[in-house]
A and B are shown apart, each in its own frame.
Chain A
Amino acid sequence: MIDAPPPIEVRDVTMAYGDFVIQRDLNFPINQGDIFVIMGGSGCGKSTLLKHMLGLIAPAAGDIVYSGQSFVHANSNEQERMRQRWGITYQSGGLFSAMTLAENISLPLQLYTRFSPKERMEIIAYKLALVGLDGYQDYYPSEISGGMRKRAALARAIAMDPDILFFDEPSAGLDPISSRLLDELIVQLKESIGATVVMVTHELPSIFAIATNSVYLDANTRTMIAYGDPRELRDHSEQAVVRQFLTRSSATKIEETA
């Protein structure tokens, strides 16, 4: 059997804002069905890497390859076609503030599917119910709480049953129960629609609960220093920083006080 190319491959990517290099020589694949976590300290470039993967900013060097097809070198029609298979939530939500939740979710459905208006309303109700927000169809994003906005953004991201889901800090700002429900939801979605999930998160419980693979970006050496199952990395990584990150112990001289 010939191996299919992985759904996402990051190849020799260098990220920079102007002359200020944030990360260099990033090289790793993300395999089919993975729940893949991008980890690292604050400001190491996780959101920026995600923006490169989404094609919102071109990387300073290197390429992102989707199922064997380069995104950076694709023309805009091909890029658009690739994007239609993605679902994305942004760190600050990214819901359209001038539209109600129903309109937000309905937009991709209207553009890319042929559902009747009634079917569309049913699908919207179903997607909102998945994130516990059924009944909030006619609310504007400014009328719901921050955590609810996160969940609404997730509902929009899964509107089209995407092949790849990108989440930037999906559970930041959620209470522990909602955050656990969200983890479960992500696993369920992955299993039911067979999606590959890429997420940026700091939440250790959530990382150990659901992640199957990960990469660690280091702010000091400005490159990736670990790749693999986060549970493996926690126990056996050669890099002390990574073990400390994953066990929540401090990298400084302060001793843990019991």
Chain B
Amino acid sequence: MSDTAPVFQLDTTQSDTLILALTGDWIQGAGAPDFNDLRTNLNALSPKTLIVHFDNIEQWDSILMAFLLQCSNHCQDKGIALDTTSLPESAQRLLDVATAVRPHQRPEPGDYHWLTSINPLRMLKATMGNIRESLAFIGEVAMALANLVVGKANTRYVDFRAFCYQSGPDAFAIISLISILVGMILGYLGAVQLQQFGAGIYVADLVVIGTLREMGALMTAVVMAGRTGAAYAAQLGTMQTNEEIDAIVTLGISPMEFLVVPRMLALVVMMPLLTIYADVLGILGGALVAGGMGITPLQYFNQASAAVEMNHIMVGLIKSVTFALLIAVAGCRSGINSGRSSAAVGQAATQAVVTAIIYLIVADAAINILCQQLDY
């Protein structure tokens, strides 16, 4: 086989009619010339006609076609007549097929500088829009719940039961692990400080109050945001991609009643139960640490039971219900607003978790401040 480098030559003897001579092997790896070189020449000469001469080329493949296609598109844009009659018939046909549909012109996306993305005004506007949409979503959910109360909602009990199972019993293992460990962390944290004052026994109070009021509900919520919130977003996002949500709407069913309400209610029912379970295990975790410090289980539980008060438990439960609502709103909203592609579904799941955790921390702080003010 001959190994001649592919080159083009522009014959410029006539200024109106240029002859483009292509020679060599126009194949992959042979180093075909760049079309931009030809473009510069053409722009400088601005001819009326371009005749392609196809001389003793023995081999050619898509490299040649890609070059010719750019050539043809350029000539169309500039109104240059292109004569390709000397091409082999097969290349001619391929070029015809490739140029049958003009390249799609994407509408200009507007002139954005990357700095505009950190423009505080624009960020504020985006955040406000986000909050407004969230509120609208919550409003729609509230109307769906009202319909449920008067018995007019298209919510299926079987769905509710299935989601209860998914978000409750299925989460037992991970909740157990996390809450025992968090109880132990609280225990160590208190033990080191309290022993300096000879008040080691009060570690029980610290673990009980810390778990009941704060960590039990919060850690359960964080786990559920990652587990269930993301799952809700992925389920609803996939349904969006699959046109299932379209099908629901056109069956005359409200997606809020049919999809969001059972998911939300399942979380609202299961989260307080999981929180109580996490509380018990957290206090047990504290006992393990206390045992290591020479406090007997009897002493620990005696002290602990004195520290358990109804209002601590209530604060934890109120938090867990609030968190459940927020996780469900974040998950379902991201899912329903998801785009229609696998990448968009992934984004929806990520967004669900991130939003849910932000909501959780803000709500937790707000409830703590409220309790402090109310002296509860």
Q: Does A251 contact B (CB under 8 A)?
A: yes
Interface centre among A20, A54, A253 (most CB of B within 10 A): A253
Contacts of B251 on A, CB cut-off 8 Å? 83-84, 107-108, 111
Q: Does A119 contact B (CB under 8 A)?
A: no
Q: Does B11 contact A (CB under 8 A)?
A: no
Within 8 A of A (CB), among B130-163: 154
Contacts of B243 on A, CB cut-off 8 Å? 90-94
Contact A56 B244 (CB under 8 A): no
Contact B252 A84 (CB under 8 A): yes
Contact A97 B242 (CB under 8 A): yes
Q: Does A80 contact B (CB under 8 A)?
A: yes
Given A80-B252, A86-B250, A107-B251, verify A92-B96 contact (CB < 8 Å). no
Contact B250 A96 (CB under 8 A): no
Cα-based distance from A184 to B247 in the complex (angstroms): 24
Contacts of B97 on A, CB cut-off 8 Å? 252, 254
Q: Does B230 contact A (CB under 8 A)?
A: no
Cα-based distance from A55 to B249 in the complex (angstroms): 9
Cα-based distance from A108 to B99 in the complex (angstroms): 48
Cα-based distance from A91 to B244 in the complex (angstroms): 11
Within 8 A of B (CB), among A33-86: 51, 54-56, 80-81, 83-84, 86
Contact B242 A56 (CB under 8 A): no
Q: Does B107 contact A (CB under 8 A)?
A: yes
Contact B242 A83 (CB under 8 A): no
Q: Does A19 contact B (CB under 8 A)?
A: yes
Q: Does B246 contact A (CB under 8 A)?
A: yes
Minimum CB–CB distance from B207 to chain A (whole Å) comes to: 42
Q: Does B68 contact A (CB under 8 A)?
A: no
Q: Does B217 contact A (CB under 8 A)?
A: no
Minimum CB–CB distance from B168 to chain A (whole Å) comes to: 18
Cα-based distance from A112 to B251 in the complex (angstroms): 10
Contact of B96 among A81, A112, A252 (CB under 8 A): A252
Contacts of B241 on A, CB cut-off 8 Å? 92
Q: Does B122 contact A (CB under 8 A)?
A: no
Cα-based distance from A94 to B239 in the complex (angstroms): 8
A-B contact count (CB 8 A): 66
Q: Does B100 contact A (CB under 8 A)?
A: yes
Contacts of A252 on B, CB cut-off 8 Å? 96-97, 99-100
Within 8 A of A (CB), among B249-302: 249-253
Determine the main DSSP class of A at the interface with B. Answer: loop
Interface centre among B93, B248, B249 (most CB of A within 10 A): B249
Contacts of B249 on A, CB cut-off 8 Å? 55-56, 83
Cα-based distance from A258 to B252 in the complex (angstroms): 51
Minimum CB–CB distance from B128 to chain A (whole Å) comes to: 21
Q: Which residue of B lies closest to A166 (CB)?
A: B250
Q: Does A158 contact B (CB under 8 A)?
A: no
Contacts of A94 on B, CB cut-off 8 Å? 242-244, 246-247
Give the contact-size bracket for chain A. 20 to 34
Contacts of B248 on A, CB cut-off 8 Å? 96
Contact A93 B242 (CB under 8 A): yes
Within 8 A of B (CB), among A1-38: 18-20
Contact A83 B252 (CB under 8 A): yes
Minimum CB–CB distance from B366 to chain A (whole Å) comes to: 34
Contact B154 A54 (CB under 8 A): no
Contact A250 B100 (CB under 8 A): yes
Contact B96 A254 (CB under 8 A): yes
Contacts of A250 on B, CB cut-off 8 Å? 100
Q: Does A88 contact B (CB under 8 A)?
A: yes
Cα-based distance from A88 to B252 in the complex (angstroms): 12
Q: Which residue of B lies closest to A110 (CB)?
A: B156
Contacts of A18 on B, CB cut-off 8 Å? 107
Given A93-B242, A94-B242, A97-B242, verify A83-B250 contact (CB < 8 Å). yes
Contact of A96 among B93, B99, B247, B252 (CB under 8 A): B247
Contact B246 A90 (CB under 8 A): yes
Q: Which residue of B lies closest to A219 (CB)?
A: B101
Contact A111 B154 (CB under 8 A): yes
Q: Does A95 contact B (CB under 8 A)?
A: yes
Cα-based distance from A91 to B239 in the complex (angstroms): 14
Contacts of B252 on A, CB cut-off 8 Å? 80-81, 83-84, 111-112
Contacts of A86 on B, CB cut-off 8 Å? 250
Q: Which residue of B lies closest to A257 (CB)?
A: B93
Cα-based distance from A112 to B246 in the complex (angstroms): 18
Given A111-B253, A252-B100, verify A20-B244 contact (CB < 8 Å). no
Contact A54 B244 (CB under 8 A): no
Minimum CB–CB distance from A77 to chain B (whole Å) comes to: 10
Cα-based distance from A84 to B249 in the complex (angstroms): 10
Minimum CB–CB distance from A200 to chain B (whole Å) comes to: 13
Contact of B246 among A56, A107, A253 (CB under 8 A): A56
13 contacts between A and B (CB under 8 A): A83-B252, A84-B251, A86-B250, A93-B243, A94-B244, A95-B242, A96-B239, A108-B251, A250-B100, A251-B100, A252-B96, A252-B97, A254-B100
* Top 10 A-B pairs, shortest CB-CB distance: A94-B247, A252-B100, A94-B243, A90-B243, A80-B252, A83-B252, A84-B252, A20-B107, A92-B243, A88-B250
- A residues lining the B interface (CB < 8 Å): 18-20, 51, 54-56, 80-81, 83-84, 86, 88, 90-98, 107-108, 111-112, 250-254
12 additional contacts (CB under 8 A) given A83-B251, A96-B248: A55-B249, A92-B242, A94-B246, A94-B247, A95-B247, A97-B238, A108-B251, A111-B253, A112-B252, A250-B100, A253-B96, A254-B93
